[in-house]
Every structure is written in C-alpha cells, then in structure tokens.
Amino acid sequence: MPELLLEVQGLETQFRTPEGVVHAVNGVSFGLKEGETLGVVGESGCGKSVTMLSFLRLIPNPPGKVTAGKALYRGQDLLKMTDEEIRHVRGAQIGMIFQDPMTSLNPVMTIGKQLMEPLQLHLGMNKQQAAVRSAELLEMVGISDAKQHLNDYPHQFSGGMRQRVMIAMALSCNPQILIADEPTTALDVTIQAQIVELVKRLRDELGMTIIWITHDLGIVAGLAQRVIVMYGGFIVEEAPVKELYANISHPYTVGLIGSLPRVDETVRQRLFSIEGMPPVLLNKPTACPFAPRCKWVMERCWKENPPLENISEEHRIACFVDVKTGKAR
C-alpha cells in the first residue's frame, strides 16, 4: 500500500449558532494517496467544503470549531500545528481554489500583487522575480499577454479568467495537494469544460494530488480515480470511480446519479429528484441521517446510524440496505 500523503481521521467540526450547535462534520476519515485525484460529492450543506476548510484550519472560530480528529499531512498533524507552522503549509504545500471566482479575488488589489504575495512569502522571491514568475503562471493557465494583465484589477476579468487566476495563484508555489472547492459551479458550461481540461492538463504536467469537491457526478467521472460521497456531515460511500458507477450501493448515491441528465437517453423522462431537504444536524444523529428521504428505509434505520463498512476491498458504504434486492444486507 503506497504511503498516504494526507490522512484524515475522525474529523468533527461544529458551529455554534443561535439555534444550537450544528454538527457539520461528524467523524470523517479518509486517506489521500500521492498523485491521485479524489472526488468529494454531495449536495450543498453536506459538509464537503467544511471538511476541507477544517483541516486547513480556515473555519472562522467562533462560530466554528474542530472538536475532534487528526489530519496527518506527511505524518504531521495539521490540527496540532502552531498558527505559524500551518501558515507554511497553506499555499505552499496545500493550495486551494474556491467556488465563486467573482468573490474570491480581492477587488481592490491588482491581479499581479495577489499572485506575487505567496511567491514572496513562501519562495522568498523579490519583487522582480515574483512579477516575472506571476506572468509565467498566468501564461500557464492560458491567459495571453500576461504581463499587461498584472496591473489589472479583478473586475476587469471575466469569471472564467478569474478562476484561471485563482488556479494560477493556488499552484504558484507548486503545492503537493490542490483542493478545488466546486471551482466550476459558478461558471457557465463551456467555461466549466475549459477549467476542467486546464486542471487535468496541469495535473498531468505537474503531478499534483487533487481533492475535487463538486456536486456534479459527471465531472467526477471524467476526472477522479476515487470518490467519496458525503451526506449530513458523514461519508456514506467511498469507492474507486469505476467501481462506484458499476456498483452503486448507497441509496443517496443512487439518487444523485438518478438526478443526472443523460445524453444517451432515448425516451425522454422527468429527471429524478431526491425528495426533501438535506438535514441540519443540531444533535448528533441516532438514526441514519438519510432515512427521512430514503425509499428503502427500514425499521433499523430509525434506531441506529449505520457505520461505514467495507462491502468489497475498496468499496465502503454506510447503509443497512442492499439496494439491488431492497432487503437488509
């Protein structure tokens, strides 16, 4: 078994709100192998982003707090590092890009200055070196006349160009891991495809390890080697991507796949949707969090929360039901 680059164990994150304590991440564990691309899937509010922000310690505290767990990066626990130590991991070792390129760049700072910051900070470049490198980075993500654009402000760029800038910025210090938090959600479809292609190309050129968060199973199919499906702050299914699509095992994943439009469909039919809303967990659940929306729900699902168990060597699910037969496993 290859060495794990990142290993998250039993991560729990809670938010204090006026309504009570929200359990956003509930004992999430996963590993990340060097060079692989991991897709993290789930609908809004299921804890995907919070999980990633948690181990980078980017959750605003208060109201958020990581209450338990470990996040071992090259054997060192990110959650136990000093503020100074984790700063040298962020940006330098683990880069991150966000969902909305319209709001994730500083509107009153030039693109060049924003790109140069991590270069000067982590790589110790001086201004001239950083400016030259910034222009190279912009060229790398497909922005032509990069030198002229260094003095531009974000509002002079389109959404797609801004996301390219974000990618250039996240990759500027050659990080080991790139966390992409729904980087295509806010873009229109043609730009989405361009950004996905760009990341694929850069991954192959630079040999990066990627965590790609999305709610689009279609993108994951073409990009990731392994997929984690999250629901209510739990991992409910984890499998290599081919195994997942060949052998969908969790009712929630079944619903997610069913809600995808298919281009090879001959008979037009209504898209499937999962009834109800994702839960807001004010208490640690004693039942399966998906039970209220599950069409295979059984007596047992209301009494205990199914643990994540292997159903084959690399396939884990948290469910009591076998969706093929509709009976208990």
**Interface ranges with another protein (CB under 8 A):** 53, 56, 58, 60, 62, 83, 87-92, 95-96, 98-100, 103-109, 117-118, 121-122, 153, 155-156, 166, 169-170
Comparing CB distances to another protein, the nearer of 94 and 317 is: 94
Q: Residue 25, CB half-sphere, CA atoms under 13 Å: how many?
A: 27
Comparing CB distances to another protein, the nearer of 118 and 278 is: 118
Q: Rounded to whole angstroms, how far apart are CA atoms 48 and 56?
A: 13
Q: Rounded to whole angstroms, how far apart are CA atoms 253 and 236?
A: 9
Would you call the peptide bond into 62 cis, given omega within 30 degrees of 0 as the criterion?
yes
Instruction: Tell me the one-letter amino acid at 177.
Output: I
Q: Walk across the sheet containing 234-240 and list its strands.
A: 94-97, 177-181, 209-214, 37-41, 226-231, 234-240, 315-317, 309-312
For residue 19, give both structure tokens.
């309504």
Residue 264 CA to its chain's centroid (Å): 28
Residue 158 CA to its chain's centroid (Å): 23
Comparing CB distances to another protein, the nearer of 24 and 318 is: 24
Comparing CB distances to another protein, the nearer of 62 and 261 is: 62
Q: Rounded to whole angstroms, how far apart are CA atoms 292 and 276?
A: 8
The CB-of-283 to another protein minimum distance in angstroms stands at 25
Residue 318 CA to its chain's centroid (Å): 20
The CB-of-311 to another protein minimum distance in angstroms stands at 36
Comparing CB distances to another protein, the nearer of 131 and 291 is: 131
Alpha helices in 127-250, H assignment, sequence order: 127-140, 146-149, 159-171, 189-206, 217-223, 241-246
The CB-of-176 to another protein minimum distance in angstroms stands at 14
Q: Rounded to whole angstroms, how far apart are CA atoms 193 and 191?
A: 5
Comparing CB distances to another protein, the nearer of 103 and 247 is: 103
The CB-of-13 to another protein minimum distance in angstroms stands at 15
Q: Which helix (H) or strand (E) holds 252?
A: helix 251-258
The CB-of-106 to another protein minimum distance in angstroms stands at 4
The CB-of-85 to another protein minimum distance in angstroms stands at 11
The CB-of-178 to another protein minimum distance in angstroms stands at 11
For residue 186, give both structure tokens.
């806010």
The CB-of-169 to another protein minimum distance in angstroms stands at 7
The CB-of-105 to another protein minimum distance in angstroms stands at 6
For residue 191, give both structure tokens.
């730009």
- According to DSSP, the residues that pair with 280 across neighbouring strands are none
Instruction: Tell me the one-letter amino acid at 6.
Output: L
Q: Rounded to whole angstroms, how far apart are CA atoms 187 and 312?
A: 37
